[in-house]
Amino acid sequence: MENLALIDSFSEFKDDKLIDRVTLMAILEDVFRNALKKKFGDDDNFDIIINPDKGDLEIWRNRIVVADGEVENENQEISLTEAQKIEPDFEVGEDVSEEVKLFDLGRRSILALRQNLISKIQEHDNTNIYKQFKDLEGEIYTAEVHHIRHRAVILLDDEGNELILPKDKQIPSDFFRKGENVRGIIESVELKGNKPNIVLSRTAPAFLEKLFEQEIPEVFDGLISIKNVVRIPGEKAKVAVDSYDDRIDPVGACVGMKGSRIHGIVRELGNENIDVINHTNNLQLYITRALSPARVTSIKIDEENKRAEVILKPEEVSKAIGRGGHNIRLAGRLTGYEIDVFREGVEEDVELSEFSDEIEAWIIDEFAKAGLDTAKSVLEQDVKDLVKRTDLEEETIDDVMRILKEEFED
Q: Where are the domains of the chain?
A: 2-131, 136-202, 349-410
Please give the pLDDT value at position 219: 94
**CA–CA dist 250, 352 (Å, integer):** 40
Task: Give the pLDDT mean for 150-175.
Answer: 94
Q: What is the pLDDT of residues 290-318, one digit of tens each?
A: 999 999 999 999 999 999 999 988 888 88
CATH class of 136-202: mainly beta
How far is the CA of 347 from the CAs of 288, 376, 378, in angstroms? Answer: 21, 10, 16
Whole-model pTM?
0.65
**CA–CA dist 39, 23 (Å, integer):** 25
**CA–CA dist 374, 297 (Å, integer):** 19
Architecture of domain 349-410: Orthogonal Bundle (1.10)
Cα dihedral 77, 83, 87, 88 sign: positive
Give me the torsion for CA of 270, 276, 281, 282, rounded to 10°.
-120
CATH topology of domain 2-131: N Utilization Substance Protein A; Chain:P; domain 4 (3.30.1480)
Burial of 368 from C-beta contacts in 10 A (0-12 / 13-18 / 19+)? middle
Label residue 381 by pLDDT band (50, 70, 90): confident
Q: Which of 38-42, 50-54, 102-106, 208-212 has the highest mean pLDDT?
A: 208-212
- 315-332 as b/e: b if 16+ CB within 10 A: ebbbbbbbebbbbbbbbb
Residues 6+ apart with CB under 8 A from 182: 142, 143, 144, 145, 153, 155, 165, 176, 200, 202
What order do you get walking across the sheet with 338-343 strand by strand?
A: 296-302, 307-312, 338-343
**CA–CA dist 204, 187 (Å, integer):** 8
Task: Give the pLDDT mean for 165-191.
Answer: 94
Can you tell me whether residue 42 is helix, strand or coil? coil
Task: Give the pLDDT mean for 148-154.
Answer: 93
Question: If we measure between CA atoms, which residue out of 280, 273, 284, 185 comes closest to residue 231?
Answer: 273
Is 307:300 a contact under the CB 8 Å cutoff?
no
